[in-house]
C-alpha cells in the first residue's frame, strides 16, 4: 500500500460531514442539550503532553510509553526498546487549585513479536469538606481515584499489530460516609482495552515519502459502578477511537506528522422524558412523566455499547399549541433527521500537527471539537518537546474556544520521558 487514501478520507469526513446538518435541514440549534455522563470520568482524561498538544489526537501517533493509554498495539512498531514516562496535569484550575492527575507509564519490547507495558494513573480531587443538611461540618476528606493497567502488544505481521490492556480502577469519593442512613462505598472497576494498528513506513502522498498509521481502539470496556447498595449503577467511559496519521519525511532533519481522530463514547444516550397530557384537551395540566423518545439505559454493558450507536432521542415535534404530537400507535412524532443528526453529534473530532527537527526539538498544535449539545468541549492546544540523549521533556497548553469560560481553559500538561535502548520496531523516539 503506497498511498494514504484512508488518511485523506477520514480527514475529509471529519471536517466536512460530521460538522454539517443532515439532508433534512436539522441543525445543532434544533437539538436539545443531552450530555452523556459516566462514572469514573478520570479514566478518559488525556494524561500526556504530546497528544495533549495535538488536540487529543493520540490514537495513531507513533509509539511511546503513553501509547499504553492511547493505543497499546502501536508499541510493536517502536524503535525504542524501552521507555518510562511520568506526566503531571493540574486539573480544573479555573475552579480550584488542588485537583491533579499523575500518570506513570512504561513498556519494554521482549522481542520483535511481543511487547509488554503498564501504567499507574492517580487522580486527586483535593480536600473536600462534607456537611449535613444543616450545613454542619461532618469531616474533611481527600477523595481520590486510581487505575492500574497491564498492557500487551502482539505483532501479527510486518505492518499489523494487536494490543490488549487489563485494568483495575478504584474510586473512593466519599470515604464510606453515611448519607440519609445509606452507607456509601468505593467504586471498583475491572476493564479492558482492545487496539489494532496498521503501520506502513513506505507510504506516499504524491511524491512525498512518509509513514502512514491507521489505528482503532475500544477502551474501558468494563462493569458498571454504584457508590451504594441503593444507587443506580452507572457506565464507565467506554469509548471507541479511530485514528489516522501521516508522518511526512521532508528530509533527514524535518519530519511533520498530521493526525486525525474520531472519538465516540460507547455509552447509551439519555432518553427524552417529559410530562404529557394524555387527554390532550388543553384543560388539565399534563401530569404523567413518561418516555417520549429514545431508549432506557438500565441495561447491561454489551447491550449498552451496541445501543449507543442508534439510541439518540432526537427532537419530539410539537404542534402550534406547544403540545407533543402523538402518533396513532402511541409513539410520538420525531423531527425527521434529528435522530441521525444527534447520533453524529456524539462523534468528537480531534486533529493535530507536529514538527520535529533532527529528533531534538518539536512544536505541535491541535484542535478538539465536541458538539455544544454533548458537552461543548472545544479547544486549541499548543505544545513543545525537547530531547537530549536519553531524556525528553514535553509540555502542552490548552486554550478554550467554546464561547464561554470553560473549566478546562489554561490546562497545562507536563511529561518527562526516559528512553532505554534501541528496539526492533519502526518508529523513532518522540516522532
Q: Are 140 and 175 in contact (CB under 8 A)?
A: no
> What integer pLDDT is reported at residue 429 of this predicted model?
45
End-to-end Cα separation, the chain, in angstroms:
22
Tell me: pLDDT of 9 over 70: no
CA of residue 110 relative to chain centroid, distance:
29
Mean pLDDT of 127-131: 77
pLDDT in tens, 82-117: 999 999 999 998 888 889 999 999 999 999 999 999
> What integer pLDDT is reported at residue 95 of this predicted model?
84
CA of residue 240 relative to chain centroid, distance:
8
Name the one residue in this structure whose C-alpha cell is 509509539: 63
> What integer pLDDT is reported at residue 160 of this predicted model?
97
Tell me: pLDDT of 126 over 60: yes
pLDDT bucket at 406, cuts 50 / 70 / 90? confident
Mean pLDDT of 273-278: 76
With pLDDT > 70 as the criterion, what percentage of the chain qualifies?
A: 87
Q: What is the largest CA-CA distance in the chain?
A: 79
Mean pLDDT of 330-358: 94
Least confident span in 22-26, 275-279, 408-412: 22-26
Distance CA 136, CA 139 (A): 9
Task: Compute how many other C-beta atoms are within 10 angstroms of the C-beta atom of residue 194.
Answer: 15
pLDDT in tens, 279-289: 555 554 555 67
Distance CA 219, CA 299 (A): 19
pLDDT bucket at 1, cuts 50 / 70 / 90? very low
pLDDT bucket at 277, cuts 50 / 70 / 90? low
Per-domain residue ranges for the chain? 38-265+348-422
> What integer pLDDT is reported at residue 307 of this predicted model?
96
Per the prediction, the chain carries an average pLDDT of 88
Q: Greater confidence, 339 or 427?
A: 339
> What integer pLDDT is reported at residue 280 of this predicted model?
52
Mention the CATH class of domain 38-265+348-422.
mainly beta
pLDDT bucket at 313, cuts 50 / 70 / 90? very high
pLDDT in tens, 144-180: 999 999 999 999 999 999 999 999 999 998 877 776 6
Least confident span in 63-67, 126-130, 262-266: 126-130
Amino acid at each position: 500500500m503506497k498511498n494514504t487514501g484512508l488518511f485523506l478520507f477520514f480527514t475529509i469526513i471529519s471536517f466536512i460531514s460530521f460538522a454539517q446538518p443532515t439532508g433534512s435541514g436539522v441543525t445543532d440549534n434544533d437539538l436539545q442539550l443531552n450530555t452523556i455522563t459516566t462514572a469514573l470520568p478520570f479514566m478518559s482524561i488525556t494524561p500526556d503532553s504530546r497528544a495533549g498538544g495535538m488536540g487529543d489526537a493520540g490514537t495513531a501517533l507513533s509509539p511511546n510509553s503513553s501509547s499504553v493509554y492511547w493505543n497499546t498495539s502501536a508499541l510493536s512498531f517502536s524503535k525504542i526498546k524501552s521507555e518510562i514516562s511520568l506526566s503531571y496535569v493540574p486539573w480544573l484550575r479555573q475552579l480550584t487549585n488542588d485537583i491533579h492527575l499523575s500518570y506513570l507509564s512504561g513498556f519494554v519490547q521482549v522481542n520483535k513479536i511481543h511487547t509488554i507495558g503498564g501504567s499507574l494513573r492517580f487522580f486527586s480531587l483535593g480536600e473536600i469538606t462534607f456537611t449535613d443538611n444543616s450545613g454542619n461540618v461532618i469531616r474533611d476528606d481527600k477523595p481520590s481515584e486510581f487505575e492500574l493497567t497491564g498492557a500487551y502488544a502482539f505483532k501479527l505481521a510486518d505492518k499489523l499489530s494487536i494490543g490488549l490492556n487489563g485494568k483495575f480502577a478504584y474510586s473512593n469519593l466519599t470515604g464510606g460516609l453515611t448519607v440519609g442512613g445509606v452507607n456509601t462505598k468505593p467504586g471498583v472497576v475491572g476493564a479492558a482495552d482492545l487496539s489494532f494498528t496498521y503501520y506502513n513506513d513506505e507510504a506516499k502522498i504524491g511524491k512525498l515519502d512518509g509513514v502512514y498509521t491507521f489505528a482503532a481502539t475500544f477502551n474501558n470496556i468494563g462493569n458498571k459502578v454504584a457508590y451504594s447498595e441503593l444507587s443506580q449503577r452507572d457506565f464507565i467511559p467506554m469509548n471507541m477511537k479511530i485514528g489516522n496519521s501521516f508522518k511526512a519525511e521532508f528530509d533527514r532533519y524535518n519530519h511533520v506528522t498530521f493526525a486525525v481522530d474520531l472519538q465516540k463514547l460507547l455509552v447509551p444516550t439519555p432518553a427524552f422524558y417529559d410530562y404529557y397530557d394524555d387527554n390532550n384537551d388543553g384543560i388539565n395540566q399534563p401530569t404523567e412523566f413518561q418516555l417520549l423518545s429514545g431508549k432506557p439505559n438500565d441495561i447491561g454493558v454489551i447491550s449498552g455499547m451496541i445501543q449507543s450507536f442508534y439510541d439518540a432521542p432526537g427532537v419530539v415535534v410539537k404542534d402550534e399549541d406547544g403540545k407533543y404530537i402523538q402518533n396513532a400507535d402511541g409513539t410520538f412524532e420525531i423531527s425527521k433527521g434529528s435522530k441521525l443528526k444527534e447520533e453524529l453529534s456524539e462523534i468528537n473530532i480531534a486533529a493535530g500537527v507536529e514538527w520535529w527537527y533532527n529528533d531534538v526539538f518539536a512544536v505541535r498544535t491541535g484542535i478538539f471539537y465536541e458538539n455544544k449539545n454533548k458537552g461543548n468541549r472545544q479547544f486549541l492546544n499548543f505544545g513543545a518537546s525537547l530531547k537530549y540523549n536519553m531524556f525528553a521533556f514535553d509540555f502542552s497548553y490548552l486554550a478554550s474556544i467554546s464561547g464561554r469560560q470553560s473549566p478546562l481553559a489554561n490546562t497545562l500538561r507536563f511529561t518527562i520521558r526516559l528512553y532505554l535502548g534501541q528496539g526492533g520496531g519502526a518508529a523513532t523516539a518522540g516522532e
